Amino acid sequence: MITSLTRINELARKEREEGLTKSEWVEQIALREDYLREIRGQVRNSLSGVTIVDPEGNDVTPEKIRLSRKETLN
């Protein structure tokens, strides 16, 4: 689990109930950006392991994914 998610949820709850201070608002934005960066990294990592094969058995994996796979191996 992503560690910052607990704090993001705490701030979201506080925002709904009573509002955030300026520093909490800034913290919330930074945490959300970090969270999204981590999620995007996980998705990229998952997709880099995907191989797409057409009905005839030919590898039709897009070049962008193949290049990404090569970069992670190096």
Q: Domain residues for 20?
A: 4-73
For the whole prediction, is pTM greater than 0.75?
no
Q: Are 1 and 38 in contact (CB under 8 A)?
A: no
Please count the structural domains in the chain: 1
- Give the pLDDT of residue 66: 82
pLDDT of 3 strictly over 90: no
- Give the pLDDT of residue 72: 67
What is the mean pLDDT of the segment spanning 20-47?
94
Q: Are 28 and 11 in contact (CB under 8 A)?
A: yes
